[in-house]
Chains A and B, each alone.
Chain A
C-alpha cells in the first residue's frame, strides 16, 4: 500500500479502462488538490467523459488507482462516490424531469453526510442561482436549458461535496447563459470549492482553471498551469487533430 501524497484531494494514477475490450484510456495520471480548479481539455473522443465515468465508478477501471483523500474508489459500486464526497454534473442536462425542482435539489443531499445541512445548502444554492427560487414547485422539465444546467449544478452542490465534477457545462447553452453558469462557477471557486472541469470550450475553461490537462486519444499530452498550457502548441494540435 502506498500512502497518498499529502495535500491531494483526488489522485488518479496509471488509469486504464475502455469498452468491449477496447482500451480507451491508456494510463491517465491526474491530481486535484483542495480548493483547486482543474480543467481537462481535449477534442471529442479524447476520453474525457470516460475519465469522469471511471472516477464516478460508472465505468470499472481495468487497472490503476483512483483515490479520494487516500480512499481507493476502484471497484466501488456506482453509488459510492457520492457518499464519499464527489458530486457529478453529467453532460447535457441531467435533470430528473418528472421530479420537481425542489425534489431534484433535495435528492442532491441524498448521502447521509449531506442531509443534516439540507436547509442551509438549499439556501446557499438558491442564493447562487436566484432564477430557481420561484420555480421550486414546478417539474424540472419545465425549466429552460440554462435553468436546467443551474439546477444540475445546484443539485451537485446540495451534497456539500469535497470535489465537484462537471462534464461540458457549456454544451448547448447560449453564450449569455454560458456566461451566467461560469460566473456561478467562479463564485464557487472563490468560496474554496474544488472543481474538476471537463470542457471543449477552452477559453472559458482556462479563464476559470488554475491548472489544466490536455487529453488526446486517451492520453494526457500536456499538463501544467494555465499559462503554460495556453502557450503550448500541443493544445491547438489536440483540438485540430494535427
Chain B
C-alpha cells in the first residue's frame, strides 16, 4: 500500500514536469496549429544553459542552483522567438507536412549540435537539493521534484489567468479559433504567434531548469520528456492547454506505477497503449468536452 502510494506520489511529481512541457506544446498547437517536434530540445537547451551558468559559479546556499537555472528558461523564451522569426513564420505557408519535417529536422539538429558542443556525457551539477527529502510516514518526498511540481502548479494557475483574463489570452484564443476574424478585430496575429512561441519555449526551458538539481543533462534528454508530453496532449485533447496539465499528471502516475510494478521500458508501452485506446474511444481527448472541428 505504501509502495503504491510512494509510486503514485513520484509519478505525480514528475507529472508536473510533463505538464509544463505539454502545456507549451498544446498552447503552440492551439494557436499556431503546429506540433513543434523540437519542443523537447528547448528543455534540453535550457538544461545546458543552466549547466553552463553553473560552471561559472553557483550562489551559495541550499537553493543556490535555482538562481542559475531559472535564467535559462528566459533564454529559451528568446530562442523560441528566434525560431519563430527565422523559420516558423515563413513555414506557415508551406503546409502541414513541411512544417512537421521542419520541426523534426530542428529537433535532430539541436540534439546533434548539443552533442558537438557539449559532448554526450551525462552531466549533473553537484548540489544539496539532490537527494534531500521529506519523510511523511512511510513515504519519501524528494525536495527537487516537489519544488518542480509546486512551480508547475503555480505556472498552471498563471497560465489559466493569462489565457482566460488577459488581453493576450483573449487574442490568442480568438486567433486559435478564426485567424481572419481575429485580425479584423484588430489582433496582430503575428505578434500573438511570436508571443506564443516565446511562451511555449519558455515553459519547456522552465521545465528544464526545474529538473536541473536532480536530473542528468545529456543531448537527447528532451526526447524522454517530450514523447510523454506528445502522448499527454493527445490523451488530454489537442489544443486544450489546461487539460494538458491533467494529461501530464496522469501519464506521470501511469508511468511511475507501471515502472514500479513492471519495468521502466514497459511503462512507455503502457502509456502508448493508453494513447491508442483514447484515440479509438474518445479521440477528442479525455479532458475536452467538444470534439475538435477541423
Q: Contacts A106-B170, A110-B171; is A79 near B187 (CB within 8 Å)?
A: yes
A110 touches B180 (CB 8 A): no
- The tally of residues in B whose CB lies under 8 Å from a CB in A reads 18
B177 beta carbon closer than 8 Å to chain A: yes
The CA of A155 and the CA of B187, in the complex, are separated in Å by 14
A107 touches B171 (CB 8 A): yes
Q: Which residues of B contact A103 (CB under 8 A)?
A: 170, 173
B184 beta carbon closer than 8 Å to chain A: yes
Q: Which residues of A contact B181 (CB under 8 A)?
A: 90, 94, 96
B188 beta carbon closer than 8 Å to chain A: yes
The contact of B170 among A82, A83, A107, by CB within 8 Å, is: A107
A99 beta carbon closer than 8 Å to chain B: yes
- Contact digits for B172-185, partner A, Cβ 8 Å, 1 yes 0 no: 01101110111111
Q: Contacts A58-B180, A94-B181, A110-B167; is A99 near B173 (CB within 8 Å)?
A: yes
A131 beta carbon closer than 8 Å to chain B: no
Chain A residue at minimum C-beta to C-beta distance from B191: A79
Q: Contacts A107-B170, A110-B167, A110-B171; is A82 near B184 (CB within 8 Å)?
A: yes
Q: Contacts A96-B177, A96-B181; is A79 near B170 (CB within 8 Å)?
A: no
A78 touches B177 (CB 8 A): no
Interface of B is mostly: helix
Q: Which residues of B contact A88 (CB under 8 A)?
A: 184
A188 beta carbon closer than 8 Å to chain B: no
Interface size class of A (residues with CB under 8 A): 20 to 34
A56 touches B173 (CB 8 A): no
Chain A residue at minimum C-beta to C-beta distance from B239: A98
A111 beta carbon closer than 8 Å to chain B: yes
Shortest CB-to-CB span from B202 to chain A, Å, is 24
B75 beta carbon closer than 8 Å to chain A: no
B185 touches A56 (CB 8 A): no
Shortest CB-to-CB span from B294 to chain A, Å, is 14
The CA of A6 and the CA of B200, in the complex, are separated in Å by 49
Knowing that A82-B186, A110-B185 touch, tell me 20 more A-B residue pairs with CB under 8 angstroms.
A58-B183, A78-B183, A79-B187, A82-B184, A90-B184, A96-B178, A96-B181, A97-B177, A98-B173, A99-B173, A99-B174, A106-B170, A107-B170, A107-B171, A107-B182, A110-B170, A110-B171, A110-B186, A155-B185, A159-B185
A-B contact pairs, 18 of them (CB 8 A): A78-B183, A79-B183, A79-B187, A79-B188, A79-B189, A88-B184, A99-B173, A99-B174, A103-B173, A106-B170, A107-B170, A107-B171, A107-B174, A107-B187, A108-B185, A110-B185, A110-B186, A110-B187
